[in-house]
Amino acid sequence: MKTLFIDCDSHLTAPWASVYRAGDPPIDVNTKKFERDAVPNVAAAYQIIIDDHTYFPAAILERCTALNDRAHPRSRARRRADGP
């Protein structure tokens, strides 16, 4: 499945490069800014989106027809910090 890190801004470029390894599945990285309403166009060819800080309201998600899954890299850390 084709994967996109949709909102890798300048603060995340170096950390992302430090954790992404040559044997990892291919992940495209978008470093360009875009309006929230453009999410369906940016994500059009992708089945998986890694999303750090882009807000995905239901109306936007409904327009992302190819999308199968969305991952938020900080969600697991928050869950642990908040308890079980």
Q: What is the pLDDT of residue 46?
A: 94
Number of domains forming the structure of the chain? 1
pLDDT digits (tens, 9 = 90+) for 69-80: 777 666 543 332
Place of tokens 């430090």: 18
Q: Determine contact, residues 52/74, Cβ cutoff 8 Å.
A: yes
Per-residue pLDDT of 21-33, as tens digits, reads: 999 999 999 999 9
In contact, 27 and 3? CB cutoff 8 Å: yes
The predicted pLDDT at position 71 comes to: 74
Across the range 7-24, mean pLDDT stands at: 91
pTM attached to this predicted model: 0.77
Q: What pLDDT is attached to residue 23?
A: 94
- Print the domain residue range for 18: 3-82
What per-residue confidence (pLDDT) applies to 44?
A: 92
Could you read off the pLDDT of 45-71 as tens digits, one per residue?
999 988 887 777 888 888 888 888 777
Q: Which residues of 36-59 are buried (b: 16+ CB within 10 A; e: fewer)?
A: eeebeebbeebebbbbbebebeee
Rounded CA separation 40/27 (Å): 18
